[in-house]
Amino acid sequence: MLKNICATVALAALATACTTTGQDKPTPDVWTVNYNVGFDSMVACLAAPPTGAFQTYPPAFPSAGQARIVFIPANTPQANSAYVVTQMVGNNSMVSWQRFGQVRGLDWLDGEARNRADACAATLRGS
């Protein structure tokens, strides 16, 4: 009897572990670039209020040496997207661009985000 109960519990646990939804899967980064720019400077630049039809929110710091900065079109808030800035060795930062959800047709947003990150790096290297 105990053997049957243990087998049933084990099968139920295995079935639960193998069941995932599409939301459980991590979304791969759209792009990732290493910049020769300090972490604090890059976070400050990307979090600064953008010009044009975009908005940002103050950065969140999920762990030491990592910041998440929401960057979305003001008229498309469902385009859940963010920069993830990671502090690297020396005066270097890795910036990853992530989009979440199933909103399609946002290649233009990926390009705008990349242009903004490149501009931050160029400005900060020049100063």
| Residue 5 pLDDT | 47
Domain positions in the chain are 23-126
- Using one digit for the tens of pLDDT, what is the confidence trace for 61-85? 999 999 999 999 888 777 789 999 9
At the fourth CATH level, which superfamily is domain 23-126?
TATA-Binding Protein (3.30.310.10)
Structure tokens at 113: 């985000």
pLDDT at 111 over 60: yes
DSSP string covering 51-120, please? SSSEEE-PPEEEETTEEEEEEEETT-TTS-EEEEEEE-SSS-EEEEEEE-SS----HHHHHHHHHHHHHH
Q: What are the CA-CA distances from residue 99 to residues 26, 86, 106 (Å)?
A: 11, 17, 9
Q: Tell me whether strands 81-87 and 66-73 are parallel, antiparallel or unpaired.
A: antiparallel
CA angle 25/27/33 to nearest 5° reads 150
| High-pLDDT (> 70) share of the chain, % | 76
Average pLDDT, the chain: 81
Residue range 13-22: mean pLDDT, rounded: 42
Q: From the CB of residue 89, how many other CB atoms can be counted at a distance below 10 Å?
A: 5
The residue with greater pLDDT, 52 or 59, is 59
The better pLDDT of the pair 52, 5 is held by 52
